Amino acid sequence: MNNVKQGWNGRFFEDFEVGDVYPHPLGKTITEADNHSFTLLTQNTNPIHFDQVYAEQTNFKQILVNSAYTIALITGQSVSDVSQNVMANLGWDEVKLPNPVFEGDTLYSYSEVLEKRESKSRDNVGIVKIKTYGYNQDAKIVIHFLRTIMVYKQADAPKAKQTLLEQVLRGND
């Protein structure tokens, strides 16, 4: 089939430029089920995340979203732009939570490229440092963090998806 168009497969090392900003396309409204499920899944026993009566007695007066969920969500929102082609995550640093997140908030995010360099130990990847910001429906920053990734160069990235699609399409001729 000659009319197959390549979908977005994320950035490779060559595509990153220091100073670039990537607004991530998806937002997510956090539901009670999201917060409670994640909190229980991770065995976080702090009642501020699932006990309304307890939460009403705190300074926040309502249930807080688990901050580990917040970093997971904002990282996830960035994958298609930042780490779709990562060989390895090398670290998250300087995680800051300047404003609380509540059930019902909708979070959005963007990332900025801070540094880029060739890997000293592997020819097929480079190292990129990103700063990612998450913000809510009121344009308040709720999280920001640094993330360092080891990302494939385009010529060296795994090609399993493309190879499998080629096999499928040949079988449908």
pLDDT at 162: 62
* Residue 80 DSSP code: I
3-state helix, strand, coil in the chain (%, to 5): 30, 30, 40
The fold of 13-171 is: Thiol Ester Dehydrase; Chain A (3.10.129)
pLDDT at 2: 65
* Measured distance CA(14)–CA(153) in Å, rounded: 6
* Measured distance CA(169)–CA(173) in Å, rounded: 7
What residue ranges do the domains of the chain occupy? 13-171
User: In Å, what is the CA distance from 122 to each residue of 85, 89, 151, 152, 170?
Assistant: 15, 15, 11, 10, 35
pLDDT at 112: 97
Q: What is the pTM of this model?
A: 0.87
pLDDT per residue rounded down to tens, the chain (173 residues): 567 666 678 899 999 999 999 999 999 999 999 999 999 999 998 999 989 999 999 999 999 999 999 999 999 999 999 999 999 999 999 999 999 999 999 999 999 999 999 999 998 999 999 999 999 999 999 999 999 999 999 888 887 666 666 777 777 65
pLDDT at 160: 63
pLDDT at 10: 87
